[in-house]
Structure 1
């Protein structure tokens, strides 16, 4: 068993389980906030079982909390917009997941921020697949269990935001991202995306700041002079 965890697939497994542990803890906050927003226990659990994308779930219950069930259309629109990023992840994860139609169809439910991040942090194909599936499935199980726990203990916990569980998920992301921030361009893209998201979050509806931040990376790729030079070299006879 020790030898397995030293292999690339083993490293991916360790990373996936660590990220799952940090992210799943945040589900307690969602369960408590959802119940306090007016949803019942079963509605809260169904959201985690079927929607299973933390940012969209928090956006949904946030709008419900502000406007009641009458705000359901706005809540759905807000959470759907925030979930658009998963479509971009799906395009990137398709060659990683590989396999036939049913395998890819199953993978769509586990294509989230964390599973994509762990998979792309690996250097080998098999390790990427392992990272994707271990992270996605482990978070799905942990997130749903912690959602149930948070919904049941919501009144006992008080304000779940006071525990800072959201910081655990952010710290896990930073741990995955940090080794890849080598060179001026990755650092510039990361800093630019962070600034854009921070500036837009207070003034725009949930979802738009995330998409705008992703646009920083797209713009960097389109206007990178090094990529243009490389393209010209390939075209030269």
Structure 2
């Protein structure tokens, strides 16, 4: 007698997600959780700058661009003009518009979803989406990163603002340094190439030079000139090298 066929139990179970989708979800959640916890520092910094808990939460809900939020509340906390603080935050957040141009062609989301998805166009969601190999993986990475980061950032903003309000003066606990420290931690991984390091160094010098001379918030705007100055200098150097090339070759002959 032949043995009865063994039932295929795998056929009765739903198919498991492909490894590539699992990897995308894992990486996206890792980015969302790691960066989302920084919202606590923003809540503390915002409360230390004099904003209420409701105002701090509104910034995270509506603005949702970490670096811009830190720049805004830091300038306000230093007594800066609100218009100058808002202008500095605007210039920092303007890069998201360029991310949106790149992501619109990659994700190709339905028209009804695009206004909502635009709220999640930031450094982290763009980096995860652009790192994928196909459109489906890019959409998944963008969605998981955006959802996890948005939820956790807003939750930790609330906790940080409530905690700072309960502690009293954040400066007495040294919490006033939390915002600048996290801001630098977010920027540090982006400073890799020679041009980026030159822009960062010049921006620091311009900001430090403007601190004793300009109103609070204005040195940030002055530091924004570092990028065009470095780019102009590098172009001038390349042109000078190209023009000197033939003369150097003639001298060698």
TM exceeds 0.5?
Answer: yes
Structure 2 CA distance for aligned equivalents of residues 14 and 167 of structure 1: 26
Q: Which shifted more, 87-96 or 59-68?
A: 59-68
Q: Name 2:174's counterpart in structure 1.
A: 159
Q: Name 1:201's counterpart in structure 2.
A: 204
Name structure 2 gaps, 5 residues minimum.
Answer: 1-13, 208-218, 239-253
Where 1:102 maps in the other structure, the secondary structure is coil
Task: Please list the CA deviations of residues 101-132 of structure 1 after superposition, one character each: whole Å capped at 9, or x if unmatched.
Answer: 22211111000010001111112221111111
Larger Rg: 2
The 1:17–1:194 alpha-carbon spacing in structure 2 relative to 1, beyond 3 Å, is: farther
The 1:152–1:191 alpha-carbon spacing in structure 2 relative to 1, beyond 3 Å, is: same
Deviation at 1:165, TM superposition (A): 5.1
**Superposition RMSD on alpha carbons, in Å?**
3.2
**TM-score (normalised: structure 1):** 0.73
Q: Is the 8 A contact 1:196 1:209 kept in 2?
A: no
Count how many residue pairs are aligned between Structure 1 and Structure 2: 201
Name structure 1 gaps, 5 residues minimum.
Answer: 178-186, 224-237
Where 1:64 maps in the other structure, the secondary structure is helix
Name whichever structure is richer in helix by fraction.
Answer: 1
Where 2:160 maps in the other structure, the secondary structure is helix
**TM-score (normalised: structure 2):** 0.68
Structure 1 CA distance for aligned equivalents of residues 72 and 108 of structure 2: 32
Q: Name 1:6's counterpart in structure 2.
A: 19
Q: Is the 8 A contact 1:19 1:114 kept in 2?
A: yes
2:35 pairs, out of 6, 23, 45, with 23
